[in-house]
Amino acid sequence: MLDRGLVVILLGPPGVGKGTQGLRLAAVFGWERLVTGDLLRAARQEGTEVGRRAGRYMDEGELVPDDVMVALFEERMAGLPDGPGILLDGFPRTVAQAEALACAFSRPVDAVVLLKASEDVLVRRISGRRSCATCGCIYNIYFDPPGSEGVCDGCGEVLTHREDDTAETVRRRLRVYVEQTEPLIDYYGARGEVLRVDGEGSPDEVQAGLEASLASHFGASA
């Protein structure tokens, strides 16, 4: 059984800003982040067995099987240093994963936060996303373009477009989210409060909404 600081789940559809906001919240609260999409992309680059098994599901916008994800999650959790909290981004994504998470901890999760945005906003955010593999900066050709097209402002590296960020795959990922991940809203709703935060504003506005919601939740439950 794992028993660490706070455990906070960041739920929401692809493109809603979990990555950007997760980084900000982790910096503000000193939390560790566990980001399963990043773990899988790294595993693919390294050519590990997990990476090979996950690759075709990721390219098609489908979920990687639960047994692979639960094993990866448990292995990474065990390796995280102790600290004030852990922010889970991208896990759980199915009810089976949520049940595995519940078995791994000795108590319920401390907060479940749902970031929301309309489908049109999500599709433009994802299909316009470009990132820098060198320094991690994220841009959007519609909302937040770099100064020179296709080049990172920070380090001058050529920006990349994730293979699963095409409009067609994005629609499939959104459908998969509705079918397989949205049931988690009811799952966690039945076990406590799900904090709902508007993800459509600017990154600063969304961050302010998240911090206010978490502050009132932890203030109320303290």
93 tagged catalytic: yes
13 interacts with ligand AMP by CB under 6 A: no
97 interacts with ligand AMP by CB under 6 A: yes
What is the rounded CA–CA span in Å between residue 7 and residue 112?
9
Kindly state the helix (H) or strand (E) to which residue 35 belongs, with its residue range: strand 32-35
Sign for the pseudo-dihedral over CA of 118, 176, 7, 191: positive
90 interacts with ligand AMP by CB under 6 A: yes
Residue nearest to ligand AMP (CB): 37
173 tagged catalytic: yes
Minimum CB distance to ligand AMP smaller for 17 or for 90: 90
In the complex, least distance from residue 45 CB atom to ligand AMP, rounded to whole angstroms: 13
Residue 167's closest CA among 126, 138, 120? 126
Amino acid at 84: P
40 interacts with ligand AMP by CB under 6 A: yes
- Of the listed pieces 33-41, 103-111, 117-125, 205-213, which binds ligand AMP according to CB under 6 A? 33-41
188 interacts with ligand AMP by CB under 6 A: no
- Binds ligand AMP by CB under 6 A, chosen from 7, 8, 50, 58: 58
172 tagged catalytic: no
Kindly state the helix (H) or strand (E) to which residue 209 belongs, with its residue range: helix 203-221
Structure tokens at 17: 């800003």
56 tagged catalytic: no
36 interacts with ligand AMP by CB under 6 A: yes
86 interacts with ligand AMP by CB under 6 A: no
57 interacts with ligand AMP by CB under 6 A: yes
Contact 9, 17 (CB under 8 A): no
21 interacts with ligand AMP by CB under 6 A: no
Structure tokens at 33: 């982040």
Minimum CB distance to ligand AMP smaller for 70 or for 195: 70
Structure tokens at 116: 């929301």
- Is residue 78 exposed (0-12), middle (13-18) or buried (19+ Cβ within 10 Å)? exposed
Active-site annotation, residues = 18, 93, 129, 162, 173
